[in-house]
Amino acid sequence: MEESTVKPAVVATEKYKEPTSNISDDFLQKPWQEMDGFDWTEKSVESLLTEIEKYMPLADLENGNYSKIPHVNLLLVGRISSGKSSFFNTVDSVIKGRLSLRSRAGCASSSLTKSLDIYKVKGRKNSGTLNFRVVDCRGLEEDQSLDSRDVEYILDGHVMDGYVFNQSTPITKDNSKFRKDPTLADRIHCVIFVVDGSNPPEITMSQNVEKQVKELQEMMNRRKIPQLILLTKVDTMATVKEDLSKVFHSKSVLEMRDKIAMSFGLPPYTVLPMQNIANSPTVSKEIKILTLYNLRQILRAADDFLENHEEEIMGDKYKGAQTTSY
């Protein structure tokens, strides 16, 4: 993935317009994004699932042999009730083929995620744990923010699974959940900002939350960590509500994508439209395809980060990645 220089945030000044309720007004005949040859069929579900189950970080290294990075770490960051934890449940449900409720999700006045939760995902047919980890941390709030030192330690791989966030003080080096000598395999390889697409941009990115996000992005940019935006709840748009497979035909989703990308100072192509399974006990074919396609893009971004560290991975100075565990 290309790197981009993050520009100062642009605060929306125009009055927010409610998503179009008339499908004919919202529907674009030509999709504004193609899916690399995939379509909305069961064949695409199987193809994407197989690709993700076979995924190995930087598999092209060492003539196709298993690389020295056993898995990539994908950090979810977002405002409370944005769909952050629900996204993991959706990923787990799609791969399992049944509803998964491993991560606590829902609406609350404060973050439901109180600790750093690192999730493994198992493939189908007892194929073992897949080669990525989903890292979920407490949500961003208007009156409470993630401590910048906690975030830096998370990005650099110092914080282990189960660490409970303390609003008054960040993690210390004598904490049992503090990893003193992290390797490249312990670090965060891609950050996914989760944004509620059903809210106006000025609510999604209020001044206080926007300030928190910019501070986090500065840390990520210094480390050259790829950043993607997951635009959730797109089913509130007229065209998508009628048929999720028309998500890339929706004028409302396109407009929201561009506004959110501008707010984050990221290119529009880094925004991934998403519908979680929060309102449905079953996993539809369309949700499967969109989830797997987005996960595929996220894994590719993580590979881009690792590719920039290829010399370190292949060099003698890199040791111990294979023994990393959570």
Q: What is the pLDDT of residues 290-299, one digit of tens each?
A: 999 999 999 9
204-234 pLDDT, tens per residue?
A: 667 788 888 999 999 999 999 999 999 999 9
CATH topology of domain 25-307: Rossmann fold (3.40.50)
Mean pLDDT of 49-76: 82
Task: Please count the residues of the chain.
Answer: 326
Rg of the chain over Cα atoms, rounded to whole angstroms, equals: 19
Res 7: pLDDT:
45
Single-letter amino acid, residue 267? P
pTM: 0.86
As a whole number, the mean pLDDT across the chain is: 84
Res 108: pLDDT:
43
167-184 pLDDT, tens per residue?
A: 788 999 999 999 999 999
- Among 139, 150, 132, CA closest to 305: 132
Q: Is the pLDDT of residue 99 over 60?
A: yes
pLDDT band of residue 279 (cuts 50, 70, 90) is: low
Res 11: pLDDT:
40
106-134 pLDDT, tens per residue?
A: 444 444 557 899 999 999 876 689 999 99
Res 280: pLDDT:
65
Give residue limits of the domains in the chain. Answer: 25-307
pLDDT band of residue 156 (cuts 50, 70, 90) is: very high
Res 206: pLDDT:
72
* 3-class DSSP assignment, residue 79: strand
Cα gap 172→77, rounded to integer Å: 22
How big is the CA angle at 104 (ends 52 and 142), to the nearest 5 degrees?
Answer: 105
Res 326: pLDDT:
55
Mean pLDDT of 44-60: 93
Cα gap 220→5, rounded to integer Å: 12
pLDDT band of residue 5 (cuts 50, 70, 90) is: very low
CA 32 to chain centre: 21
Q: What percent of the chain has pLDDT over 90?
A: 57
In angstroms, the Cα distances linking 132 to 70, 82, 109, 156 are 8, 22, 31, 17
For residue 160, give the DSSP letter. Answer: P
For residue 178, give the DSSP letter. Answer: B
Q: Is the pLDDT of residue 249 over 60?
A: yes
306-319 pLDDT, tens per residue?
A: 999 988 887 744 45
